[in-house]
Chains A and B, each alone.
Chain A
Amino acid sequence: MTETLLRLTDVVKTFPGVKALDGVHLEVAAGEVHCLLGQNGAGKSTLIKVLAGVHRPDGGEVLWGGEPVSFSDPQAAMKAGIATIYQELDLVDGLSVADNIFLGHEPRTVGFVRRGQVRRRASEILASLGHPEIPVRREVAKLPAAAKQVVSMGRALSREARMIVMDEPSAVLAHDEVENLFRVIRGLTARGIAVVYISHRLEEIREIGDRVTVLKDGRTTAANLDAKTTPTNELVARMTGRTIEYVFPPRPDAVPERKPLLEVRGLKRAGEFTDVDLTVHSGEIVGITGLVGSGRSEVLETIFGARRAHAGTVTIEGRKLRAGSVPSAVRAGLGMAPEERKSQALVLGEPVFRNMTLATFGRFAKAGFTDAAGERRAADEMAERLELRPRDTRRVVRTLSGGNQQKVVVGRWLLGGTRLLLLDEPTRGVDVGARAELYRVIRDLADSGVGVLMVSSEVPEVLGLADRVVVMREGRIVRQAAAHELDEHTVLDLVMAGSLLEGSPVA
């Protein structure tokens, strides 16, 4: 059972402005659990989409069962026997378990679905996964997350998949549910099915994985390491150390004693985060980092009032903010650039200048009448200051690239005289060249006295840009320190498991 099922050689995938994959090697054998490890932005998501047939590689070779292939669409990949289970499971909530399992390839007679057969075979599949208790007639929406995952795997089995790719399957599961997931995975590999397992949690990789491939900046930095014995040190080392050097603006030499701008005390939202204490001084950049689900973005949104805190206080220069009220936060001088720029920050069909003045058009207005010329002038100046390229502020925002769009959002708050800027993943979807510029803009802002609280899942970014770093894990702050006191290795370890602090690889 050690035949090589899948072999990727030197796979390249380029998007406009970004080389997402730049020489990926991967070798998966039948019946093994092959783990993919890498930081955010290392290219894991792109690699998964290449395997699933969503993207076609621009270069390199993909051998599936020894034959070179290039899947034209996800159906082709599925037909060939590759199933992908995304984090946001693509089940149809309104359909029954059985219908979901056979969605798109229902057993039928002249167009009529053979419902009895669908249910019977669905039960068989679930039983073979060790979960005969999941009722096949139940609506999927009513199942817990763990059961949904099993249904997704059932769907893969119904298609006779030979390889199943799982993208962070444990992220949505509780601890005992993870154990159960592992049992199911072991059942799959026993039948000769290969599993490509993506996770940030080292202890899981140790427990379920056979071999590990590490990605960094779109390249394979280590292939086929032994999942059980490779020291944590080595794994982390392979993931860190940038090959692309970002240019971070220098920090000001001497930081004068400044008064605190934002003070967060005992902030809590049940199920998301608890006991969060934070301080941001004016002119200071504070960076929060952590995994998805660590509560980092939720903290930011709660400070801004977009989520209502269950406990704790947020004060700006000693004045307490009303919980759960964005308008009061904005009035107090807060501004936020949310993570999902397109869906949360921009009115895509409107021109740049109207997006820039979205929070401030009321201030330009006289007696309720907007001042379009004044807004445009201010937006033009802001475009100049932020080096929007091209400067055209009448252009519809939809047509801009990620970096320019982010500048529009930042510009929006600068126009409003914002004193504390909250940035959630400020460089997500921004290409390499534009990043350095954004970093400079953020630093300039801080130098002008604005406080910045940013969230990033890219550790080097936080370390390079922020003055102080806050590490979060599972809804709590696990470390706060000046950026120069930390290094990438330490932070990454804190983020992932905290094992390195105890000083030994998990055997």
Chain B
Amino acid sequence: MTDLAKPASEAPPEPHGTDAPRKGSFWTDDATEPVRRNLGLVGVLLAIWVVGAITVPRIFLSGEGLWNNELIVLQQSAAIGVIAVGMTFVIIGGGIDLSVGALVALTSVWCTTQATQAFGPAGMVFTAILVGAIAGLVNGFLIAYGRVVAFIATLAMLVAARGLAQLISGKRTQRVNIENVGITDIAENRILGIPILVWMLLVVAAVGWVLLNRTTFGRRTFAVGGNPEAARLAGINLRRHTVALYVLSGICCGIGAVMVVAQATAGAPDHGDLYELDAIAAAIIGGTALAGGRGSIVGAILGVLVFKGITNLFIVNNLEQEYQLIVKGAIIVGAVLLQQFRIGSLPQLRKSAT
């Protein structure tokens, strides 16, 4: 019963009201943390290239081969990248959207019904975006005003939207009609040597970046996710902003669905299979905190590129996919572990060591 261990000594008291100055090194400062993480992801991409150069020099060591291969990786990243942008907003805002894959299916089907196709390519795009926005509105209202937990509300939407997609399509694949070649052209044509899909990704990512980092909408997103109560007490309309975030995610799903339809030349109720997990994984390894309040569009896009780059690397090496899944899992865990070590946890580590 006698524990005579010396009490842990606390740091000596600072002079009144003065905090120790911030240590301004690039490698330790909080402010440069997103840059460091993105550099890490770029490092992984470079590593993929190095492995590619060793194993498939035909592609990775020829200028043209590499260019074409990376354009293919970019094209395959396009739809999921657009969706990951929406997901990043939602997660930074303190939420989660599990319904994105199902919304891609629903909007892809809705915009390829015979009735919609009669309106031409523009009508199809408009319908996809509108359906996505409305589904997002439903998500947002349930969460903000119905006080349903985001996980549950969007899980319900995941199930219901797939069902609706099956109902509308009769569980069939809906081909894009020949007269709507404008849609399928999205996946085939290039502008200035760059595929349209890649342009779309670039534009959405750029708009997303500006919206997040340079507008009041973005500031509100960080505030709402970082500390909802503080945001509310600072006069920010929490509910309205939450609704807006899910609508944004829905719109991204609509755009993503158009891209998927263009690539597959069809809408189908099984489109967007597991996209929610891909989008969340990309956002997370890109440095977006699941708890909200922190995240990066560039990181999310890099996250998508890493995943698709690995898929590509395995297939051009003619390797089975099981290894690929293991590598991807390792990358997710690695990224999250890095995230945990970051949050100024050094004092904690020291404490638990004594």
CB distance from A410 to the nearest CB of B (A): 13
Q: B21: CB under 8 A from chain A?
A: yes
Nearest B residue to A361 via CB reads B219
Instruction: Tell me if A70 and B5 are in contact (CB < 8 A).
Output: yes
Instruction: Tell me if B13 and A16 are in contact (CB < 8 A).
Output: yes
Residues of A within 8 A of B236 (CB): 327, 358
Q: A490: CB under 8 A from chain B?
A: no
Residues of A within 8 A of B232 (CB): 306, 326
Residues of B within 8 A of A68 (CB): 2, 4
CB distance from A79 to the nearest CB of B (A): 8
Nearest A residue to B21 via CB reads A390
Instruction: Tell me if B215 and A329 are in contact (CB < 8 A).
Output: no
Q: A117: CB under 8 A from chain B?
A: no
**Chain B 1-42: CB-based contact to A (< 8 A → 1; otherwise 0):** 111110111110111111101100000001100000000000
- Bound form: Cα–Cα A338–B232 in Å: 12
Known: A327-B235, A349-B226, A358-B234. Is A69-B215 also a contact (CB below 8 A)?
no
From A16, A64, A344, contact of B230 by CB (8 A): A344
Q: B182: CB under 8 A from chain A?
A: no
Q: A347: CB under 8 A from chain B?
A: yes
Instruction: Tell me if B216 and A365 are in contact (CB < 8 A).
Output: yes
Residues of B within 8 A of A179 (CB): none
Residues of B within 8 A of A368 (CB): 215-217
From B4, B5, B17, B222, contact of A403 by CB (8 A): B17
Instruction: Tell me if B22 and A347 are in contact (CB < 8 A).
Output: no
From A14, A72, A326, A338, contact of B5 by CB (8 A): A72
Tell which of B8, B219, B229, B231 has the most Cβ of chain A within 10 Å. B219
Q: How many residues of A contact B (CB 8 A)?
A: 64
Q: B178: CB under 8 A from chain A?
A: no
Which residues between 318 and 333 of chain A lie within 8 Å of chain B, taking CB atoms?
326-327, 329-331
CB distance from A338 to the nearest CB of B (A): 6
Question: DSSP class of B's interface residues: helix, strand, loop or mixed?
Answer: loop
Which residues between 38 and 65 of chain B lie within 8 Å of chain A, taking CB atoms?
none
CB distance from B315 to the nearest CB of A (A): 39
Residues of B within 8 A of A65 (CB): 1
- Bound form: Cα–Cα A306–B227 in Å: 15
Instruction: Tell me if A437 and B226 are in contact (CB < 8 A).
Output: no
- Bound form: Cα–Cα A243–B236 in Å: 43
Total cross-chain contacts (CB, 8 A): 144
Q: B293: CB under 8 A from chain A?
A: yes
Instruction: Tell me if A395 and B15 are in contact (CB < 8 A).
Output: no
Instruction: Tell me if A437 and B17 are in contact (CB < 8 A).
Output: yes
- Bound form: Cα–Cα A369–B216 in Å: 6
CB distance from B123 to the nearest CB of A (A): 29
Nearest A residue to B3 via CB reads A70
Q: B233: CB under 8 A from chain A?
A: yes
From A72, A359, A394, contact of B234 by CB (8 A): A359
Instruction: Tell me if A431 and B17 are in contact (CB < 8 A).
Output: yes
CB distance from A76 to the nearest CB of B (A): 7
Instruction: Tell me if B17 and A401 are in contact (CB < 8 A).
Output: yes
Q: How many residues of B contact A (CB 8 A)?
A: 43
Instruction: Tell me if B233 and A433 are in contact (CB < 8 A).
Output: no
Known: A370-B214, A370-B218, A396-B30. Is A338-B226 also a contact (CB below 8 A)?
no
**Chain A 55-70: CB-based contact to B (< 8 A → 1; otherwise 0):** 0111000001101111
Q: B80: CB under 8 A from chain A?
A: no
Residues of B within 8 A of A14 (CB): 10, 13
Q: A392: CB under 8 A from chain B?
A: yes
Q: A17: CB under 8 A from chain B?
A: yes
Nearest A residue to B354 via CB reads A72
Q: B344: CB under 8 A from chain A?
A: yes
Instruction: Tell me if B2 and A349 are in contact (CB < 8 A).
Output: no
Instruction: Tell me if A346 and B19 are in contact (CB < 8 A).
Output: no
**Chain B 164-207: CB-based contact to A (< 8 A → 1; otherwise 0):** 00000000000000000000000000000000000000000000
Instruction: Tell me if A361 and B30 are in contact (CB < 8 A).
Output: no
Q: A398: CB under 8 A from chain B?
A: yes
Which residues between 337 and 351 of chain A lie within 8 Å of chain B, taking CB atoms?
338, 343-351
Q: B223: CB under 8 A from chain A?
A: yes
Known: A16-B11, A72-B5, A368-B215. Is A404-B235 also a contact (CB below 8 A)?
no
Residues of A within 8 A of B317 (CB): none
Q: A137: CB under 8 A from chain B?
A: no
Q: A336: CB under 8 A from chain B?
A: yes
Nearest B residue to A72 via CB reads B3
Instruction: Tell me if B215 and A331 are in contact (CB < 8 A).
Output: no
Give 7 nearest A-B pairs by CB, closest first. Answer: A433-B16, A330-B235, A347-B226, A434-B17, A56-B7, A359-B234, A389-B18
Report 19 cross-chain contacts, Cβ distance below 8 Å, ordered by A residue.
A67-B1, A71-B3, A80-B1, A326-B235, A327-B236, A338-B229, A343-B230, A347-B226, A347-B231, A348-B227, A351-B31, A354-B222, A361-B216, A365-B216, A368-B217, A370-B215, A370-B218, A396-B30, A433-B16
The residues of A with any CB-CB pair to B shorter than 8 Å are: 14-18, 56-58, 64-65, 67-72, 76, 80, 304, 306, 326-327, 329-331, 336, 338, 343-351, 354, 358-359, 361-362, 365, 368-370, 372, 389-390, 392, 394-396, 398-401, 403-404, 412, 431-434, 437
Having A345-B227, A431-B17, A437-B17, one finds 13 other A-B pairs with CB under 8 Å, namely A16-B11, A71-B3, A306-B233, A344-B229, A344-B230, A345-B230, A362-B216, A370-B216, A392-B21, A394-B31, A396-B31, A404-B19, A433-B15
